[in-house]
Structure 1
């Protein structure tokens, strides 16, 4: 063990290492076993408190937790997607964590393009054939998305052509975009009035 010499010339052993001294000092304040028991119990209390909070949500808290507004929650309730808890005597309705999970489920399904009617069907699916039925619904949704993507690409080409036409139009000339809108579905315009517009119409046909 390290030693040190005092100014009086006598030799003495040094104190215990610093870590041991710190542990001894802590133990002098609080028993470490009691400390860890207290920390564990505190954590469990916090978890139980959070769980209780999720079992007692107001409609405003429910809506905020799912990033929607209160009227959206009420609309889902009218459509039968979300249940409405009974109002206790002299109190307010409270929602549970299951209600929150269902609300988030509905919102996720909507962002994937499912309609509310389709979501009703998804919520009713269960059992062994659920995946097969869900697969059919998802395949139909995928076909719909691909169709819309094709329409959007077509619209993109039309808008690009209109932007080019507007850039080439002379001062005082008729606006190509307005011209197209005014004659949508009619006979092609004379060449002198809208060459680019006719090109757009042909693409839209």
Structure 2
């Protein structure tokens, strides 16, 4: 299965992935720039706070780089943005757990405090949500390309029924097409 083949480039979900990545990237860049503006030392663990979170230059650089990567994913859009959002979101959640384990220890080189850990969890879940939107659900619509990919037999039956209805003239040949209700005997729905 190729990720680039799962979702058409012009599908409406691509907009959610694109704007979600760009928004989260912008938030991270603003945080990183605020850290640079405060002229912090590179690996200080003295507790300088920016926007309610402790930071140092290393964390500002990391935030800016990840923000730029997310914005690049937003520019690319489509499945690349979705996959990038899911990957970065998962890394944020893992980072939250890792930094929770090193709070108040010398290994805390990014000067994480509890607010940073909470921000990491929340931002990770927000980025994950933008990446998984329309991809992961038990109630995806039948017009969703991910649903069609997971249920190829039923999607083929629905496409054949739609083509037959168009041939009879009961469905318009263009424009939005109504989803065909799932059959009662299909265990995949």
TM-score interval, smaller chain: under 0.3
TM-score by length of structure 1 reads 0.25
User: What TM-score do the two structures reach when normalised by structure 2?
Assistant: 0.26
Pick 1 or 2: higher relative contact order, CA cutoff 8 A, min separation 6.
Answer: 2
